[in-house]
Amino acid sequence: MDTAEKLPFHLRGNYAPVQEEITAFDLPVTGSIPPELNGLYVRNGANPKSGSSPHWFFGDGMVHGVRIENGQAKWYRNRWVRTTKLERNADATDPSTMMDRTASAANTHVLAHGGKLLALEEGHYPYFLTPELETAGWGNYDGRLQTAFTAHPKLCPETGELHFFGYGPMPPYLVYHVLDRAGNLVHSAEITVPGPTMMHDFMITRDHAIFMDLPVVFDLQAAMRGDAPLHWDESYGARIGILPRRGTNAQVRWFEIDPCYVFHPLNSYVDGSKVICDVGRHAYMWRDSMNDFPPSYLWRWEFDLATGGFSERQLDDASHAFPRVDDRVSGLRHRYGWAVQPRGEGDMLSASASVVVRYDLATGAKSTHDFGPHAEPGEFVFAEASASAREDEGCALGFVYDRSRNASDLVILDAARPEAAPLARIALPQRVPHGFHGSWVRAHELE
């Protein structure tokens, strides 16, 4: 066994970090970029500056962006998010790092709101980036934010509000927040949960905020010993809390469910008296160690607010990762969803290649784009053709790594025909390591 094979998965192959920040202009394009695309595709991920980290989730954040305008790929940039953690080369699992709200890895997501680009990681304050991806500093909203800021806030397409929450290993364990359209913190409410649960994501509908209180919990004493700070605890229980948007703890309705874990929901919406949640359900998470990572499958949960009833069913037999919908239907009824699945049998982490799929939740059909046996696509996001476009009228775009070339491209698919040849393939000046989440940021959101 060579040295590379002895490394953990997140430090070898295309998970391994890159060590150079690059700026490149006028990128080569194969095919044609749709002329209506005008904005920035940007994606975040863990890229430890030291070259090593104890877990994939703990590496320093690095954003990779491609600016698209008038059918051209104007530039590519990759930049470390220059947090206090990066400056100090701090250990993400050290309790002092966990308690310092500025010491973010800032490695999980990046999105636009209130005229700012936010680089996010769920244990700390957000970091703000310029349109050229330089770090502008951290923020706590004029001192009003007293908790961490989730990596997965939800932007309401109708009000422009950004709904989010903070959780942590010390009380208060969960606080619900809302930013108005301009980015002012206008609502905060502590939500009572039994203990220090890890709540990676949540959901909204037009009327509700939805919290997943599931049995992955913090163990601060273990963290102080240098052991894994998170573990599965089935005795904790599993329940889903639904409350009115901008609501309070007194208004939460809790529904007991079977123990499971959800990193990423697809979307949720209201149908009559029912709240419908399409989620990526793991049977458990980190039961034996933080390398114990079972696959995720698409499930539908239905909560009847009139009767108190709950039902669930599995929607797809194939595992998946990185589920996304058109941002314009976040919290509203969706028809389509995008995800990445293994090519052939297996799960995402063990697969040697993967494919992009588009779910049609109205018909149950699934369209697949297979980039080939050497391809490893990451998360794909939707970019609409116009403000009035349908959910399948536009593009899906994301980074694809090709092992045979040791190179990455930004690939643009036709959302109406995902199985067809790509509309465009933009060659990047260096490979983009596998990362987490990103966004299509429209040009007006960068102004």
For residue 157, what are its two tokens? 């397409």
What does DSSP assign to residue 157? Answer: T
Average pLDDT over residues 104-110: 98
State residue 88 phi and psi, 5-degree precision: -95, -5
Residue whose pair of structure tokens reads 């983009």 in the numeric block: 432
pLDDT the model gives residue 94: 85
pLDDT of residue 108: 98
**Tens digit of pLDDT for each residue in 176-218?**
999 999 999 999 999 999 999 999 999 999 999 999 999 999 9
Kindly state the average pLDDT of the residues 302-328.
97
Contact of 80 with 86, CB cutoff 8 Å: yes
| Res 223: pLDDT | 76
Of the candidates 249, 223, 190, 210, which has an alpha carbon nearest to the alpha carbon of residue 330? 210
Which token pair is 158? 């109708």
The mean predicted confidence, pLDDT, of the chain is 95
Average pLDDT on 32-41 reads: 97
Distances, alpha carbon 357 to alpha carbons 30, 102, 168, 339, 343, in Å: 22, 37, 34, 5, 11
Joined tokens for residue 11? 């430090």
In degrees, rounded to 5, the angle at the alpha carbon of residue 199 between the alpha carbons of residues 330 and 329 is 5
> Reading across the β-sheet that carries 274-282, which strands appear in turn?
261-271, 274-282, 296-304, 310-314
The 3-state DSSP class for residue 32 equals coil
**What is the percent of the chain with per-residue pLDDT over 70, rounded to a whole number?**
97
Question: Cα dist. 343→26, 359, 370, 373, 444 in Å?
Answer: 33, 16, 8, 8, 37
Cis peptide, bond prior to residue 172, ω within 30 of zero: yes
| Strand ranges, E, within 168-256 | 174-179, 185-190, 203-204, 208-213, 216-218, 230-232, 239-244, 253-256
Per-residue pLDDT band at 229 (split at 50, 70, 90): confident
Q: Quick one: DSSP state of residue 43?
A: E
Contacts of 74 (CB under 8 A, 6+ apart): 25, 26, 27, 67, 68
Indicate the burial class of 181 (C-beta count within 10 angstroms; 0-12, 13-18, 19 or more). Answer: middle
Residue range 355-379, pLDDT digits in tens: 999 999 999 999 999 999 999 999 9
SS3 state of residue 56: helix
φ, ψ of residue 253 in degrees (nearest 5): -110, 120
Q: Tell me what pLDDT residue 282 has.
A: 98
Phi, psi at 322, each rounded to 5°: 55, 55
Give the per-residue pLDDT at 392.
96
Task: Kindly state the average pLDDT of the residues 256-270.
Answer: 98
Provide the pLDDT for residue 220: 79
What's the confidence (pLDDT) of residue 95? 83
Looking at residue 336, its pLDDT comes to 98
pLDDT at 1 over 50: no
On whether the CB atoms of residues 62 and 77 are closer than 8 A, the answer is no
SS3 of the chain: helix, strand, coil, percent, to 5: 10, 40, 50
Parse the chain into domains and list their residue ranges: 142-315
Residue 348 has a pLDDT of 65
Q: How far apart are CA 16 and CA 56, in angstroms?
A: 10
In contact, 375 and 400? CB cutoff 8 Å: yes
d(CA 257, CA 239): 5
| In the predicted structure, residue 350 carries a pLDDT above the cut 80 | no
What local confidence, expressed as pLDDT, does residue 417 receive?
Answer: 98
Prediction pTM value:
0.96
Least confident of 94-108, 256-270, 410-424: 94-108
Tell me how far apart the alpha carbons of residues 366 and 145 are, in angstroms, rounded to a whole number. 41
CA 186/CA 144 separation, integer angstroms: 9
Q: Which of 53-67, 86-100, 109-123 has the weakest average pLDDT?
A: 86-100
Whole-angstrom CA distances from 88 to 61, 98, 409, 441 are 14, 14, 33, 31
User: Per-residue pLDDT averaged across 244-250, rounded?
Assistant: 98
Here the tokens at position 115 are 């005229």
Tokens of 335: 């028809």
Q: For residue 144, list its beta bridge partners.
A: none
How confident is the model over 87-105, as a mean pLDDT?
Answer: 92
Phi, psi of 395, deg, nearest 5: -130, 160
Q: What is the torsion angle, in degrees rounded to the nearest 10, for the CA atoms of residue 11, residue 13, residue 15 and residue 21? A: 90
Q: Which of 393, 323, 318 is nearest to 358 (CA)?
A: 323
pLDDT in tens, 143-183: 999 999 999 999 999 999 999 999 999 999 999 999 999 99
Residue 277 has what pLDDT?
98
Measured over all CA atoms, what is the biggest interatomic distance in the chain, rounded to whole angstroms? 61
pLDDT at 16: 97
Pseudo-torsion of CA 303, 305, 307, 313, nearest 10°?
-10
Q: Is the dihedral of CA 193, 179, 322, 131 positive or negative?
A: negative
Q: What is the mean pLDDT of residues 98-106?
A: 95
